[in-house]
Amino acid sequence: MRSPNKHYDSVLSPTFCFDLSAAFTHPMKILLHGWNSPTPFHWYSQNDNEILATGAFLQSPGLPLLSLTDHEGRRLEDNIPEPVLEVIRLAPFLDFEIAQASASSGAALQLAEDCPLLLILAVHHAKRARLARKDFHTLLCQRRPTLLEKIGLPGSQSLNRLIKRIALAPMLPRELDDAIQVLCTDRVQPFLRHHRNLHLNHLLFLARYRQVLWPGLLFLVDVRSRSGDFPWLCRMIRDVMALTNQNESLLRQVCSREGLQELHDRLVDRFNQEDSQQAEKHHKSLAIELEREHGLFPKPPLPEVEGITALSSWFDLLNEGAIMRHCVGSYDDIIASGEVFIYRMHQPERLTIAVRRKGPLWILSEARGKRNSNPSEEAMERIQRWLATFGLA
């Protein structure tokens, strides 16, 4: 939209002006309304002579709302109620949209106070659907189950109560998408309803988890969990299931990360036969059985380099698991199928490296130290250089 500045100023009567010329190679200003305007957070950009772009309802100028201060020292966030600011901090990628929605609709402002996640979900939906201000307000005036159904979630009172109980933390756009995916999954809703202290982290974990559900599972995740914990948990549970031939009964006794680690280590030690003399005899016998079942151990897909060597036999595989106290010895099926291959790292630290096939390439699947400890940054950099050297990272 292009129009004379005088006409557009008379329509918007902007209360804030932010000069962005220093960030561009030409004059550029953003003019917009604040919280108390009849058209809150509508904006337009201009250079010296003309309007360049305009933003109406739920259209952000792409600037961080909470850091904008004009030449008079006024902050754009001034006069925005604290409950709305808190929701903005939780979903900063929807900052302008949340502020504008809350300023434009009493129903949105109420949601900011008593159900922040539902407000975020509603604004996310309205932005994607390009709803007008009037239509958005009409949407929020629906009964909560109807509102949930309109924005693409199951329309039920139980889900309404569930969403209200979920504690939040600052999230990224993809994490909101993950939360939506989980809330739409029938099998996990009853499971979530029975957990007392729900947090966004539980949804983010379940978005990546595809295995057995049991009452203690959600106790493995809490407010302190980080995204890097989730692959570890999935891997440990997968290993336990593999070591018990998919028997769920032992997992049903687990209700903490420490308990999961203890169960995993106990099963690994049993698998690897801790007594060294008995282990060697057992592994030699088992290696013969594996060769009879799968044939010769596959040839390595990537060349060795200093500090990284390939396993060369089924006995090597079983011995690696025993030495490192993890369950790589149970990977025989996927190794025999050509999906995965195993290497040892000797320097800068002792690790077991699994690479997996991805089309014509081989990429890193996982790298573990003793008892599934995480590798150092130095070791990971060396592994990635090794893969990159052969054009396969």
d(CA 86, CA 113): 9
Nearest Cα residue to 136 out of 121, 144, 149, 126: 126
Is omega for the bond preceding 348 within 30 degrees of 0, making it cis? yes
Query: If you search the block for the tokens 């687990």, which residue do you land on?
Result: 254
The edge-to-edge listing of strands for the beta sheet with 51-55 is 16-19, 29-32, 43-46, 51-55
Three-state DSSP class for residue 69: strand
The ranges assigned to domains in the chain are 1-141, 297-389
- Listed in sequence order, the DSSP H helices in 61-143 are 82-90, 95-104, 106-114, 116-129, 133-140
Residues in the chain, overall count:
393
Crossing angle (nearest 10°) for helices 82-90 and 116-129 = 70
Q: What are the C-alpha distances in Å from 350 to residues 219, 362, 387? A: 32, 21, 18
pTM of the predicted model, to two decimals? 0.74
> pLDDT (tens digit, 0 to 9) for every residue of the chain, 393 residues total?
333 343 334 344 668 888 888 877 788 888 898 898 888 999 988 888 788 888 889 999 988 999 888 888 889 998 899 999 999 999 999 999 999 999 999 999 999 999 999 999 999 999 999 999 999 999 999 999 999 999 999 999 999 999 999 999 999 999 999 999 999 998 898 889 989 999 999 999 999 998 899 989 999 999 999 887 888 898 889 888 878 878 899 999 999 999 999 998 888 878 766 545 566 777 788 889 899 989 999 999 999 999 999 999 999 999 898 889 888 888 888 999 999 999 999 999 999 999 999 888 899 999 999 888 889 999 999 999 999 888 664
